[in-house]
Every structure is written in structure tokens, then in C-alpha cells.
Amino acid sequence: MEGCTIATLSSCIRNPEKFIRGPRASILQLWDDLASKRRMIGLGALDNHAANFPLRKCRWKLLKVFPHEQLFRTVRTHVLVPPPAQKSHEDIDSFLQAMARGRCFIDYAPLGDGTGFRFWAECSGSVFLCGDELPAGQPAVFRATVPCPAEIILVKDNSAAAVADGQSLEHCSDGSPGVYRVEARRNGQPWLFSNHIYVRKQTSAA
């Protein structure tokens, strides 16, 4: 939570979700740098510490500041899994495998429900999803769709490769190596972050 100062403390306490600014640029840079070397899965998280403060004017009634019940509804990780098997152990395994592969994205719920977001690449007749790796040197088409209008940014190696306003983005790449992900913004604020699709040079077997 940034921008919370003595001057803005009262507003910050009343509406803390308005002061969540999304991940720092340095964090996103580090994420992309690490992903260029190895698989690096991103998950949404909050570091929140609810606290009770006594109010003298209310006969020492306790005021809860930054309540978990409120802020833990803001940043969410969506995991894309196959239809449930209705068997708890199989569904748990499927969920964990999807997270480990990077089949997930993060949204900031106060700006809109990200359910329905998709990001994929098409190359040589195959479809690659978040967390997948495709060989460099072959042209590919990257596509993304969002459930409500937004500014959609296709990020390659921490730089914008394509930008679109609306609910879909399409970008043709030349097959050069890199790590691709999607960011989306609403009302100028960061809303949604996907995991990467990796375009790697293939190493020849010795």
C-alpha cells in the first residue's frame, strides 16, 4: 500500500483498497529477468496486518484498521484447471499441477472480476498456454482476451511489445526468443497480470 501519508491517513483507513498500487516496477523487472533464465511462477499475495486502535470518543471502542476481511478480497490468483473429476485427491493434484505449470493469473478485484481472462500463443498449428514453452525461430501469434474493457499490454522481456484498448489483443511475433506475459489496466490502475509464455532457443543434445 503506497501513497499513505499522515495527510492521507484518514482516507487510507476508510478506503485502503484505493491505495493499493500493484507490484513495483522493480519487482516486475526481476520477475521477467528470472523468467528469462528459468520457469518462474507468479502468484498474487498481500502483506496485511489488521490492527485494533482504541477510540476515546467512543468510550474506548476498538477500531479495526486494514481488516483482513476487506483487503483479502482484493488481490486474487485465478488457477486454470480442467473440469473437476469430483474426486478430491484427483482435483487437488490437478490444482497443484496447474499452479506449478503457471496456469494462473492475478487480478485486483475492486477494478473488476478477471474470470474469463485468457492468454495463449499459436505456433505451427499448436496452442501454447500460460506456463508453456515454445521453440524460438518460428513465427507465432499471441492473443489475449479480457472479460471487460481495459488497456491490454503484451510484455516481452519487461518491455511493451503490443498494446490494445478493448477486450482483445493480437500480436504476430517473428519467433525471436523472449518471455511474454500480459498486463491489463482499468481506469489507469493495474488490474490483471498473467504468467509467462516462454519462447526459448532449443539446445541440441550432445
**pTM, to two decimals:** 0.81
User: How far apart, in whole angstroms, are the C-alpha atoms of residue 192 and residue 106?
Assistant: 6
Contact 131, 195 (CB under 8 A): yes
Place of cell 528469462: 36
Task: Give, for 172, the enclosing helix (H) or strand (E).
Answer: strand 159-173
> What is the tens place of the pLDDT at every residue in 159-205?
999 999 999 999 999 999 999 999 999 988 899 999 999 999 876 54
> What is the tens place of the pLDDT at every residue in 41-54?
999 877 655 555 55
Q: Is the pLDDT of residue 126 over 90?
A: yes
CA 125 centroid distance within chain: 27
